[in-house]
A and B are shown apart, each in its own frame.
Chain A
Amino acid sequence: MSTITKKKGHEPLFHLTKRSSFPGWAAWIVRLLAIAVGFIVCGLVAYILIEDNKKKPQDLMEFFEKFFTSFYNGSFKLNPSASRRYNRIWEFFRDTAILQCIALAVTPAFRMRFWNIGAEGQTLMGALAAIGAAFYLGGTVPEWVLLLIMLAVALIVSSIWAVIPALFKAQWNTNETLFTLMMNYVAIYVVDFFLKIWVPTDSSLDALPHGALPVIENNYLFIILVAAALTVFTFIYLRYTKHGYEISVVGESVRTAQYSGIHVKKVIIRTMLVSGLICGLTGFLFAGKDNTITTTSIGGQGFTAIIVSWMGYFNPLMMLFSSALVTILNRGKISTDFGVKGAYEDVFVGIVLFFVIACEFFIQYKISMRKFHTATKEKEAVK
């Protein structure tokens, strides 16, 4: 047990102690409660902030019902048409899968305490490369060959984009947070540049006729299966391989890693290469799903993935839950159902995540009030 507050002199009102044993099931109850409270606070905030309009129920209970239904409908509502009955559920799993993929991409670097916040740009570059391949080669080679080429160039370009900051970090100890962040903006302008070449007089690239992802059962399952396989792979890679162990050691302490004979520079570059490859695969999924690209194709998910990875304690299996939670929040239909700006939806994502992160604090630490503490001290004094 390590105490944070100092015991000298005046006794503080409360102090924090790190919990040594908090049962897993209890932690999950706390988390679920935090999510529930977060949603309720969202509802209250929405009730107060959303100006009166015809779509807003006046009664608080009715408002809450509509508010929560909106989130439920976004991900789980069954469609009336038989052919699209389960589409929203499929889309929910597909969106979760894509977010999970990007979160998996940043995780190895995070475990190494290499703050890669460039997943947005790395994924975008992969998607750009894949779309480029489809643009130039579509129709001239068999479809499966085209898909393989798209995948290959996406992997190559994304990993180059990820390894550049790693090289600078390893060689000159540059700040990787700023470097990877800036690379996002460079990527956006590279996409702009190529769009100007591909579509000189229009403002966007029409969906390309070639290079769509293979259809397994439906348009969603392929992406979901890829994400599932990638989750298992990353879990094993981080947990049970020498590489994974080296990443953890470098993350704990660079010095320790050096003394134990780990080539730190090599680990940094290799790990970012893994991150880049996963981003490349995800970029390929984006390209095959959309068959077009814009500067906003990734839609900020490269940044959302950071918080998903953190909330999952950098554990690929735990991250499945955080990906799913964020996806439910993102798929909420608040702006449509209440006729308000899209910014409201972002606010609600923020509020719920705030509660989830805050609850982790209470799972990790115990708060002891002064009274309790002095009592134990007196006991010690008696002894």
Chain B
Amino acid sequence: MKKLIALVLSLVLCLSCFAFSASAELADVKLGVILLHDEDSTYDLNFINGVLEAAEQLGLSEDQVIMMRNIPESDACYEAALELVDEGCTIIFANSFGHESFMIKAAKECPDVQFCHATGTKAHTENLPNFHNAFAAIYEGRYLAGIAAGMKLNELKAAGKLKGEVPMMGYVGAFTYAEVISGYTSFYLGAKSVCPDVVMKVQFTGSWYDYNAENAAATTLIGAGCDLISQHADSMGAPTACEDAGIPNVSYNGSTQEACPNTFIVSSRINWAPYFVYIMNQMAAGEAIATDWTGTIATGSVVLTDVNTQAAAEGTVEAIEEAKAAFINGEIKVFDTAADNFILVKGAKLESYTADVDDMGDYVPETEVVFEGYFHESEFRSAPYFDVQLDGIELLNGAY
């Protein structure tokens, strides 16, 4: 008995020592965050919430996190990064695409400090040990949201409430970048997985945040006969237009249920907290940070809001849960090129595709990304590069 007690006690001692040393190391990590805007922008707010959530999970003290807001995509980003280094930060994160080249400049100057950049494309070609990219496989989330959309269309179809012959979705996109194309295509495929005859129209606004343009684009799409609208833009423009017209809406970046109780179905968003937890833990353990880190449903980086059962079709919650489990088990792929009548380009299956993965400023595609029966999105680098034009998706304007 005494031996047992001694064993337990020594174990407790060991564990507590271990725990103490681990947390002591975490206490030495100091995170600097460079933000393009502040809480007034939904995009930046999502990062700020991620940082705060991670800080709470890890029990970081107040002075272990420094956030610098309103840092433009210019040399000011480089200066902010150096300032954070001088404030004692051991790891520095920046959240806007245009920050990248300035973060690389700072990373080269401060080899002892780690630099992480969200949405960037250059880490895998720069080969710096202290510069890393991160993104999330938001296309998985959009696929799930697409399932909810497809089920709603099926419901409308069964009730004979479709506007036209075939179910038609509308999508308000910001720019014709791969990130947006990857987003609307995965949304379309999610819908198609449950509603095979669905088609989609896309209208671009040329801005990430423009209430009037997004509202007008949604209205145009509704006028063109769309039965359901989704969007990849940050304002309330499209959801509001849908609520006014009584058209179901699949939202992005957070729930719009409060403002649109009758039409909001579900929304997908990126949760950055798991990434911040990951980099802080790697730092504390003295382990290397992945050059390209892609958050997924499995890592908790891609999340869906609660389904609004008032607007969604019956069984939506269960269908999403099922698909989610399948993603976590690796049973389904969003860009499944092997399935029949699923991903079609000019009537044929997509057998091969070279994408512009290495961002050398040349816009020349160089990497084969279709093999093993699916398009390998976000595997060669974290930022999306799917920019294939599928059958069934019509772009109403493409000037952006």
Contact = CB atoms under 8 A, between A and B. Distances in A.
B105 interface: yes
Interface string A274-302: 00000000000000011110101101000
A81 B84 CA distance: 12
A346 to B, nearest CB: 10
Given A292-B74, A294-B74, A87 B98 contact: no
A201 B176 CA distance: 7
A79 B356 CA distance: 41
A277 to B, nearest CB: 24
Contact of B101 (A79, A91, A292, A341): A292
A203 interface: yes
Interface string B185-219: 00000000000000000000000100000000000
B263 to A, nearest CB: 30
Nearest to A286: B74
B97 A202 contact: yes
Interface in B63-80: 66-70, 72-75, 79
B75 A290 contact: yes
Given A79-B86, A341-B38, A54 B72 contact: no
Nearest to A291: B75
Interface residues of B, number: 38
B67 A336 contact: yes
Contacts of B39: 341
Contacts of A256: none
A207 B62 contact: no
Interface in A337-351: 339, 341-343
Contacts, number: 80
Contacts of B66: 336
A297 B72 contact: yes
A342 B70 contact: yes
Contact of A200 (B69, B72, B82, B363): B363
A8 interface: no
A335 to B, nearest CB: 5
B79 A91 contact: yes
Contacts of A91: 79
Contact of B86 (A84, A196, A203, A289): A84
B317 interface: no
Given A203-B98, A206-B100, A207-B102, 8 more contacts: A54-B62, A200-B363, A292-B74, A292-B98, A294-B74, A335-B38, A336-B69, A341-B38
Interface of B: 37-40, 62, 66-70, 72-75, 79, 82-83, 85-86, 88, 96-98, 100-102, 105, 175-178, 208, 356, 359, 361, 363, 387, 400
8 A-B pairs closest in CB distance = A204-B98, A342-B70, A207-B101, A290-B74, A79-B86, A206-B101, A342-B38, A54-B62
7 contacts: A81-B85, A87-B79, A202-B177, A207-B102, A335-B38, A336-B66, A341-B69
